[in-house]
């Protein structure tokens, strides 16, 4: 997932669905970010976003079952993520060859994810100590911690197993600060 989806970026901008969603997506694209995750599995909304912002690689967040994953895939989402781990979702993502970030809360869940052939995961909770533990115990697992505070981003990105972090609903000034860090 990392090379084909992220390119050289280490930040995924995650957005909740609200009346300002399309304005914020415009600001994200304008700031030079290439990847955004929308906390929805609504195929119609994802289709509109993909049509209006063809330069962005759009992911769907909070997918909790295989039907939602299939809907996101059919809408054209570039990746999906879940707040938890279900083997059926991992297997369905593999069938569709869609990039998938299962949520994991324990080392055991991380090992189960890897046993199913998935080599990337989203730690929940995404504390620095949990990510450091995963980095130490399972360094081959690529981590995508979510909802990181923008001023803590650099601490996560120093861990070799962290491929990218997700920052939830950043303000315009935070996007500017992040883009100057990411693209400098």
pLDDT digits (tens, 9 = 90+) for 97-113: 999 999 999 999 999 99
Place of tokens 């993909």: 50
Task: State mean pLDDT over 50-57.
Answer: 96
Q: Which helix (H) or strand (E) holds 103?
A: strand 103-104
Question: Above 80 in pLDDT, residue 184?
Answer: no
Q: What integer pLDDT is reported at residue 3 of this predicted model? A: 61
pTM of the predicted model, to two decimals? 0.93
Question: What integer best gives the mean pLDDT of the chain?
Answer: 93
Task: State mean pLDDT over 161-166.
Answer: 96
Task: State mean pLDDT over 21-46.
Answer: 95
Gyration radius from the chain CA atoms:
15
Query: Alpha helices of the chain — where are they, by DSSP H?
Result: 21-30, 43-52, 66-75, 87-96, 107-115, 128-137, 153-157, 172-182
Share of the chain above pLDDT 70, in %: 95
Looking at residue 67, what DSSP letter applies? Answer: H
């Amino acid at each position: 997932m990392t090379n084909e989806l992220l390119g050289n970026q280490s930040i995924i901008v995650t957005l909740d669905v609200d009346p300002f969603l399309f304005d914020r997506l415009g600001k994200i694209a304008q700031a030079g970010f290439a990847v955004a995750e929308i906390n929805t599995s609504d195929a119609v909304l994802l289709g509109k976003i993909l049509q209006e912002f063809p330069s962005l690689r759009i992911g769907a967040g909070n997918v909790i079952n295989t039907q939602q994953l299939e809907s996101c895939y059919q809408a054209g989402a570039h990746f999906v993520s879940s707040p938890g781990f279900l083997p059926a979702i991992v297997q369905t993502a593999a069938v569709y060859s869609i990039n998938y970030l299962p949520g994991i809360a324990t080392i055991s869940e991380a090992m189960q994810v890897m046993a199913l052939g998935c080599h990337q995961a989203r730690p929940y909770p995404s504390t620095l100590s949990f990510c450091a533990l995963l980095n130490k115990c399972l360094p081959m697992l690529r981590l995508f911690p979510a909802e990181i505070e923008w001023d803590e981003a650099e601490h996560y990105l120093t861990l070799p197993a962290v491929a990218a972090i997700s920052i939830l609903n950043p303000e315009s000034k935070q996007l500017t600060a992040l883009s100057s860090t990411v693209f400098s």
